[in-house]
Structure 1
Amino acid sequence: MQGQIALYRGRLADAIRQIEHAIGLAPGYADAYALQAWILHFAGRPARGLDAMAQAIRLNPRVPSIYRFVRGALHYEQGDDARAIDDLEQAVSMNPTFQMLQLWLAAAYAGSGRIDDARWQAAEAMALNPDFTLAHIRRVYPIRDPDYLERFLGDLRRAGLKLAQAPKYDERP
């Protein structure tokens, strides 16, 4: 979908226009509303994102893990860690190998003061990609709101993630 491509190229206004156009063409397509919610999450509009996610769930009440992830990320963005954790835990149980999802759950745990859970979840995420660092988030995740980005990164630091990994040394003699 063009909206998702624009999102990850950092063109949030274009991403919003693209997804609104797609919804206009197919207003009964639940996944379009879920993508709209995801784009609005990165654009710093969590309340509108939750409205879009509610519409996606009305259209697809089976609620796949990606919907729970997006809704959990939106709740986390609003500072509602308890609701975020509820959605994110369910999403992880449905899709335990999705690293991005695990990162948001680790951040939500840290934000709620559940540091042991946050560290365990961060370790699970790192097991999927040991080379992942917080620098990756700054480089790839198109989070528009600088306060939200810093809170997210701070919570991930409390969960044990680092800005950069230690260099790997060859241990051969």
Structure 2
Amino acid sequence: MGFDVFSSAVGSLESDGWPPGRLSTTRLILREPEAGDRSRLIDWASAEVNQYTGGARPRDELEAAMPVEPRRRPGLFVVERDGAMLGFVTIDRRDRDRLGHVLPGGNEAELGYMFLPEAWGHGVATEAAAGALRWFDYAHGGELVVVSAQLANTASIRVADKLGFVETVRFEDYGALQWLGVRRPPNP
């Protein structure tokens, strides 16, 4: 389950409200990707960062595959603190062909997040994802959101739990047991 943060996702989340500009949380800035983010994203080649997303990729492979200029992609937020990029949060449409859905036709909004090790264990993922969800609720009020993680990725599931996601189903995919949670829209 890897992230290609510079490519357009199938069925990307389109919105008249995109881009929302820079969003601020207590400690973080959420923004669109910039050309300067490229080298930091290549740091994600490590096995540690990609343990639950399909494994490490060779650095030279990422260097060759990643465009110099990021593509504009609705729903992709780069997360930074004090000018340093720590990770990203995405809200995309869950591809109808993937396993794990809560709506009959699929195509739910899906939250994703990935951070570098220096951000782990400090509440950064929870704070950043909460900021992206606040934007989503404002721009697309009344819509549920799903999140999926390998069951073994307990840290990611803890983040989802803190954000109000409730386990809906487990299923086998990508050679591992997956956890799918759903977050109902907040009351207006």
Same fold (TM over 0.5): no
Q: Using structure 2 for the length normalisation, give the TM-score.
A: 0.33
Q: Using structure 1 for the length normalisation, give the TM-score.
A: 0.35
Q: Between the two structures, name the one with larger relative contact order (CA 8 Å, sep ≥ 6).
A: 2
Q: Whose Rg is larger? A: 1
**Of Structure 1 and Structure 2, which has the larger fraction of its residues in strand?**
2
**Of Structure 1 and Structure 2, which has the larger fraction of its residues in helix?**
1
